[in-house]
Structure 1
């Protein structure tokens, strides 16, 4: 069989090129520690690796979102701790200011101190989120949520909660609206509120009371009307103001401090009500912490020289202390919710880290190189190429002229 010189050179060059290409590929695999250099090396594994890489990127974005959420919630937690400390301080001041031994000057001093605390509370409610916005504005984070107008503090935010996607199927609120923290707070005992008529002439003071039979609650408004006979006997009647027409109970003898129960609500009246005096029991309303403090300040600044004024002072301070307790409970409830979200972020971080490790292991199985096998293959390919080069060199040097002497 005849082999032309051109064919021999072409075949040998092609073979050497193939061997060099294979060796170069193995060298690249060793330098990158990657089995797949191009998708064509393993199309199925390459497609799977792309999917896992994309999932890994999404998981990394969730981790970034969780970090942002934790930062925002941590700042809110600091602000709420400040509010709790302030309200507890105000509670102590209110108790001290309600002492019957205080003079008008003492009460004025307490009122001035409370005014400073009110200003501090407004500042805490307008806390910054660290990004040029405000924590408690809802969606209106660019504007201060609370604005003082005269003696009133108005809320200019909304009820929105900004949410971040912190996991594949979880969006987490990263703020709380100021309306939920500072304004929507039930008054009195949280179920019903007691009050004395402004025209009362006696010294009767009604307590905040409590619910003793939830099943008997009606949500209606009632009034207690007192009558004093010529002999000095005091009685009262209970009127259901919500009924049409209002219904009136039979007269009941009054005893100072004796529990009075109306539709599952129990309270007492101390002191000496005057003839025609009236007290009301109505469903609890909602007011802000700012209003509670403002009312307490006004109560302490009001004169308290007559028996009627002293009774109004006692009732005003008592109501304020009760409303402050409910306000603190509300702030503590929000704080607890913030803590639960931070705890959830810790759990999601742990799951996210485990997921990331799983993705990394999957990618390693798809892409990483078997170093022992690759080094052995590299050595074999190197020796094969060297042998081929020597063989080509020897064959290319053969000629008939070598045999002609």
Structure 2
């Protein structure tokens, strides 16, 4: 077989180019630290690295959502803390207003103080996060979530739709692609959906059955639950008849329209009445025809209505001691319930912040695992890479020297020598 000189030259040059290309590729991998520069280098590893990169991107997006949620929850918790402090001041003022020696003018001064605190709580309910989003806007609102409407018309008559109303969309907004992180607080559940009364039933005075203009002489407390299994969920009315010391009482189930059976209907002020799993005390000096209602609790207690009612009560002149005691007792009872609702939501936000800390730890773990997976799939083993580079460089040098020797083995070179 005859091999021409040009064939040998071509083969040597092709070998040099091949070795040089592999040397350049290895050098590029050493520079980038990646053993996969394009998917064709290792399709399986490239797909593995791509999946890991997708997970890393999701973790980064979730981290941004988590940071936004933490900011909203932190601001919401701080706002509720401010509201709780203001409501505690309202409570202290109401306790002071129960002083029987206070005059109407002094109680009006206390009402003005509560009005100022109430306005501050209202401002908190419409607080935003500094980015145009309202903390208690629920699922969103075009403006402030709470709207204050006139409570009285020009003649002083109460308006049925007056007062503070929630105009946002109830619920919460969540974000995040791996987990859901809340971005808002349901303002209605905080300020307008507290359990009324003692949480099981609501006691309240009613107009005198004989003469509605007769001033109230007694007052009823909040009551307490003594046997939940006996609760009926019915409406009741307690009627006081006669004059002390020979008064009697009757209890009527208004829902069924039947009287409640009593073993003894003798009434004495300060005595505790028990029926259908409930107990309550009527104190003071109830007058003939005086009545009180007992109704099931509901999730309809509105904080601002509680504050407005307390303010109206303190501004009402010429009330009897029983009326003052009754109004103050109801105001304190409802305020405590509303404060409990605020504190409960604040505790929920605190738990949510704890949950976000746990979620952040999980995200960090997921991202670290994905980064390790991506690195294992595409990163270059530097020790092996350097070794390969040196071997290929040596091979290239040998090939280059061989080519130089072959180049000198030509007839023309021989004749020149």
- Aligning the two structures, in what range does the TM-score lie when normalised by the shorter sequence? over 0.9
Query: In the alignment, what sits opposite 1:148?
Result: 148
Query: In the alignment, what sits opposite 1:311?
Result: 322
Q: Hey, which bits of structure 1, 4+ residues long, moved more than 6 A?
A: none
Preserved contact between residue 201 and residue 273 of structure 1 (Cα < 8 Å): no
Matched, 1:69 2:69: yes
**CA shift digits 1:353-395 (9 cap, x unpaired):** 1111111111221111121221122112112212211221221
Preserved contact between residue 258 and residue 268 of structure 1 (Cα < 8 Å): yes
Give the whole-Å Cα distance in 1 for the aligned partners of 2:314 and 2:334: 16
Query: In the alignment, what sits opposite 1:258?
Result: 271
Query: In the alignment, what sits opposite 1:328?
Result: 339
**CA shift digits 1:1-26 (9 cap, x unpaired):** 43212212211111110010010011
Give the whole-Å Cα distance in 1 for the aligned partners of 2:107 and 2:215: 23
State the number of aligned residues: 398
Query: In the alignment, what sits opposite 2:159?
Result: none
Matched, 1:291 2:302: no
Query: In the alignment, what sits opposite 2:25?
Result: 25
Preserved contact between residue 5 and residue 410 of structure 2 (Cα < 8 Å): no
Query: In the alignment, what sits opposite 2:382?
Result: 371
Secondary structure at 2:184's aligned position in 1? coil
- The alpha carbon displacement at 1:190 in A equals 1.7
Secondary structure at 2:314's aligned position in 1? helix
Query: In the alignment, what sits opposite 2:242?
Result: 228
Give the whole-Å Cα distance in 2 for the aligned partners of 1:59 and 1:153: 42
Query: In the alignment, what sits opposite 1:388?
Result: 399
- The alpha carbon displacement at 1:64 in A equals 1.2
- Where do 1:93-112 residues align within 5 Å? 93-112=93-112
Structure 2-normalised TM-score? 0.91
RMSD of aligned residue pairs (Cα, Å): 1.7
Query: In the alignment, what sits opposite 2:154?
Result: none
Give the whole-Å Cα distance in 2 for the aligned partners of 1:281 and 1:385: 100
- Where do 1:6-405 residues align within 5 Å? 6-151=6-151, 152-165=163-176, 168=178, 170-198=179-207, 199=212, 200-228=214-242, 232-243=245-256, 245-247=257-259, 249=261, 252-285=265-298, 286-305=300-319, 309-404=320-415
Preserved contact between residue 66 and residue 345 of structure 1 (Cα < 8 Å): yes
Structure 1-normalised TM-score? 0.94
Q: Larger deviation: 19-28 or 49-58?
A: 49-58
